[in-house]
Homo-oligomer: A and B are copies of this chain.
Amino acid sequence: MVQIKIESNILGANEILARKNRNIFTEKKVLLVNLMSSPGSGKTSILEKTIELLNGQLNLGVIEGDLYTDQDAQRIEKKGVRVIQINTEGTCHLDAGMVGKTFVHLPVDKMDLVFIENVGNLVCPAEFDLGEDFKVVVISTAEGNDKPLKYPLIFREAKAVLVNKIDLLPYTDFSLEKIKEDISKINPSAKIFMVSGRTGQGINKWNQWLLEEVKRKKSI
């Protein structure tokens, strides 16, 4: 009998390529962060504000994942950091092979911290190891409180959760208490930051944490 296991083959190949990516970033002592969220949660706005504050202190790079356009990459490029665009041509997530292909265009030797902005999607990206040091999930206060329990895998996989659009909080039914409670049920060790990519509120605290993580990576 011949058995063809498509899914495990794909995931197996991804694991090998993820390990390759991880080895490169470990050898170079560069932190690689995989940023994930629904479409419109504000990943790009958070990156813009983060780059404004960290550029100068750190050498930064961004790998932008998007189905077809380079709109986000254009926004990031204006901030004066190296950006590589991956267009997935309809595929709903990045995989380790796509990310690995960007490295020839990215002077990893000279970098301290590289962000991967994944395709906007709370389901599929969580299943693909890209070789990152850790995953970060963004959720916006406008999306409602039910996301951690409805999309548990992505919240379980994250080292940190950014609760974005904190400036919209007064105009929504969103509860900060409830979101903290639900995240801690799924992932008790996740760091939670309240931020606004629009106003910059809370970005400093998140950046301080990133600086510590960069330092930790360099000391390994």
Residues of A within 8 A of B (CB): 4, 6, 38-42, 66-69, 71, 90, 92, 119-124, 139-140, 142-144, 146-147, 149-153, 165, 167-168, 171-173, 198
Main secondary structure of the interface of A (DSSP, over half): loop
Which residues from chain B contact A122 at a C-beta distance below 8 Å? 39, 120-121
Residues of B within 8 A of A67 (CB): 123, 150-151
4 closest A-B pairs by CB: A40-B143, A142-B142, A92-B123, A38-B39
Return the chain B residue nearest A139 by Cβ: B40
Q: Whole-angstrom distance between the alpha carbons of A71 and B148 in the complex?
A: 12
CA distance A80 to B54 in the complex (A): 53
- Are B153 and A90 closer than 8 Å at their CB atoms? yes
User: Which residues in B have their C-beta under 8 angstroms from that of A140?
Assistant: 40, 142
Q: Is the CB of A39 within 8 A of B124?
A: no
